[in-house]
Amino acid sequence: MSNQLPEDLPVANAVDTTILMHREAHFSGDFATMIAYYEQGGKGVSKDFELNRIIELAAIERAMNKNMAPLMLTGADAEKIARARAAYQKLQNIYESDKESNVISRLISDLILSEEEVPNAEIDALVEHRDAAVPALIELIRAEDFYDPLFPGYGLAPLAALHCLEKMGDKRAIMPLFEMIGSSDLFSEEIALFALKKIGKPAKDFLLKIVSSHPITEDNEKAAIALIHFKEDSDVASYCLKTLQNLEFRQAIPLANYLALACEGLTDPDEQADFRLMLDDRSTPDMVKDDIKCICNSWARY
C-alpha cells in the first residue's frame, strides 16, 4: 500500500483537489455516493467537474487502497471541510429537537437542504410565517459560508432566501437587500432589486435619502441602481433629475449614469425639457450625455 500519489495525479491539480473537498463535505468522503448523485443529476452537481474524472479518481483511490484526501488536501482545506460538516450537523440537530419550539428553524433547514432547483414549496411555507421568518432569512442572506458551494445548499441557499424576501415585501429587509447591490452574483443582485421594489414606499424613501447624501460614496451608486427599478414612479424620476442637475452629482461617474437612467419616467414636459438641456451643458460628461440621448430617444418613440 503506497502513501504516494501516482505521477499522473499532481498535487497541484486544483480541480481534483476541489472534487475531493466536495466529496468530503457533501458525501461523507465516499466516491460511490458522489458518483451516484452525479449520475442522477442532483441540484449540487458542479459544472466544474466531469463525471468521468470523478470515476477516474475513485479508481485511482481503489488502486492505492488509501484515502486520497489526507494526501492532497491542506490543513486549511481540512478546516473548511470541518466547518461544512459542522453546518450539516447543526441542521440535522434541528430536526432532532422539539418540533413545536423551532418551526422557523426547521423551515429554514428545509429551504437550505431542498434538492429542488427552485424550492417553491419551502419558500411558500416560510412566506406563510412572514413575521417570524424575516429575521432568519436576513441572517441566511448575510451568512457568507452559505454562498460557498462546499456548504449545505451548494451555495444556493441565500438565493432561495432572497426569493422568500421578495415575496414577503417586508421593510425589515431593506438594509440587507441594499447590501446585496453590487454583489458579484448578478442574479442574486437582481432578485434583491426586485425585492426592494416589492417593498414599495419604505424602500423608495430609503433609497431617495441615500442617493443624494453627502459625501458621495458607493452607497449613492447602489441607491441609484435600485431606483432605476422605480423609474416609472414620477416622484422618483423628478428627484433623480433634481439630483442630476447638481453639478457635483452630474460629474460623478457612474452615479450620474444611473441617475440619468432613473429619469426615464419623467412625464412633465418642463422636466423633460430640463433633462434635455443637460445635453447642451459642457459640464455634462460625454458618457452621461450618451445615456440622456438614449432616454430622450425613447420618449420620441412613444
The Cα–Cα gap between 91 and 277 comes to 59
Q: Which three cell numbers stand for residue 50?
A: 466531469
Last residue of a domain, one of 160, 175, 199: 199
Task: Give the total number of structural domains in the chain.
Answer: 3
Q: What is the pLDDT of residue 25?
A: 98
The Cα–Cα gap between 302 and 297 comes to 9
Contact 110, 125 (CB under 8 A): yes
Q: Of 107, 110, 31, 94, which Cα lies nearest the Cα of 67?
A: 31
Tell me the DSSP string of 142-176: T-GGGGSTTSTTTT-HHHHHHHHHHHH--GGGHHH
Does residue 54 sit in the same domain as residue 116? no
Does residue 14 sit in the same domain as residue 84? no
Q: What is the pLDDT of residue 188?
A: 87
Last residue of a domain, one of 73, 94, 127: 73
What is the SS3 assignment for 74?
Answer: coil
Does residue 205 sit in the same domain as residue 193? no
Does residue 212 sit in the same domain as residue 268? yes
The whole-model pTM stands at 0.86
Q: Which residues of 239-249 are buried (b: 16+ CB within 10 A; e: fewer)?
A: bbbebbeeeeb
Contact 213, 246 (CB under 8 A): no
Residue with cell 443529476: 41
Does residue 194 sit in the same domain as residue 204? no
Q: Of 220, 177, 176, 219, which Cα lies nearest the Cα of 195?
A: 177
- What's at 49, amino acid-wise? F
Does residue 225 sit in the same domain as residue 245? yes
Does residue 236 sit in the same domain as residue 290? yes
Residue with cell 420620441: 300
Q: What is the pLDDT of residue 186?
A: 81
The Cα–Cα gap between 107 and 136 comes to 10
Does residue 177 sit in the same domain as residue 270? no
The parent domain of residue 62 ranges over: 1-73
Contact 116, 142 (CB under 8 A): no
Which segments of the chain have a pLDDT < 70? Answer: 1-12, 100-101, 302
How far lies 54's CA from each of 34, 200, 229, in Å? 8, 48, 44
In this predicted model, what pLDDT tens digit does every residue of 260-293 receive, in sequence order?
Answer: 999 999 999 999 999 999 999 999 999 999 999 9
Backbone angles phi, psi at 150, to 5 degrees: -80, -15
Does residue 180 sit in the same domain as residue 105? yes
The Cα–Cα gap between 217 and 63 comes to 58
Does residue 282 sit in the same domain as residue 247? yes
Q: What is the pLDDT of residue 2?
A: 53
What is the largest distance, in Å, between two alpha-carbon atoms of the chain? 84
Does residue 32 sit in the same domain as residue 91? no
Does residue 134 sit in the same domain as residue 20? no
Last residue of a domain, one of 73, 107, 133: 73
